[in-house]
Amino acid sequence: MTGTYGGEFDRSRLAADLRLAEGLRLKPYRCTQGRLTIGYGRNLEDRGITTHEALFMLANDIQTCTDELFRLFSWARDVGDVRCRVLVECLFVLGLPRFLGFKRFLAAAQAGDWAGAARELEDSEWQTQAPARVRRLAAMIATGADAAGSVPVAAAPHSP
């Protein structure tokens, strides 16, 4: 006797089965078919990620960078919105070890020497790798105001 399947199933049980079968890997790896994969078997080459997932990861990364910044540099809480965004963006892009290497930049920022902090950004090796971005961030740290090329909040992409 065959019936009509209505498409409903126990999704939590399926997720548990997949977690058991796939295992969790938090860093990209090559699956048995040679495809770049992450998590519980997400094939990044064929499937990639959605805009919603990318925005979710971005929000998590911003929170992680903000937490790290405030944990290491409590003074950063008092620098104002724009300068705090610059510090978090630098940490986001550079990663913590490289960010910590910007000692003169951080010392100038801590001292409130915003022109000096801007000069340190502009004199960095990073400036040769991403000149427009570094110029924008240097202008923002120097003035405490959004610079040309900053994205208005209303123009920021939204999740689907």
pLDDT, residue 76, reads 98
Query: Is the dihedral angle over the CA atoms 78, 79, 82, 83 positive or is it negative?
Result: negative
Residue labelled with tokens 């892009």:
93
The dihedral region occupied by 150, where left means phi > 0, alpha psi between -120 and 50, and beta the remainder, is: beta
CATH class label, 51-143? mainly alpha
36-39: strand order across its sheet: 25-30, 36-39, 42-43
Beta-bridge mates of residue 43: 37
Does an H or E element contain 106, and which? Answer: helix 103-110
Cβ atoms within 10 Å, residue 2: 4
User: Measured between alpha carbons, how far is residue 29 from residues 20, 41, 72, 117, 155 in Å?
Assistant: 17, 9, 31, 39, 35
- Record the pTM: 0.84
pLDDT, residue 8, reads 87
Report how far residue 4's alpha carbon sits from residue 39's, in angstroms, rounded to the nearest whole number: 34
pLDDT, residue 7, reads 80
Q: Report residues of the chain scoring pLDDT below 50.
A: 159-160
Q: What is the pLDDT of residues 75-106, one digit of tens each?
A: 999 999 999 999 999 999 999 999 999 999 99
pLDDT, residue 160, reads 44
Beta-bridge mates of residue 38: 42
Cβ atoms within 10 Å, residue 136: 19
- Written as six digits, the tokens of 21 are 């079968």
pLDDT, residue 70, reads 98
pLDDT, residue 153, reads 59
**Encoded amino acid at 104, one letter:** R
List the chain domain ranges: 1-48, 51-143
Report how far residue 139's alpha carbon sits from residue 142's, in angstroms, rounded to the nearest whole number: 5
* 34 and 44 Cβ atoms separated by less than 8 Å: no
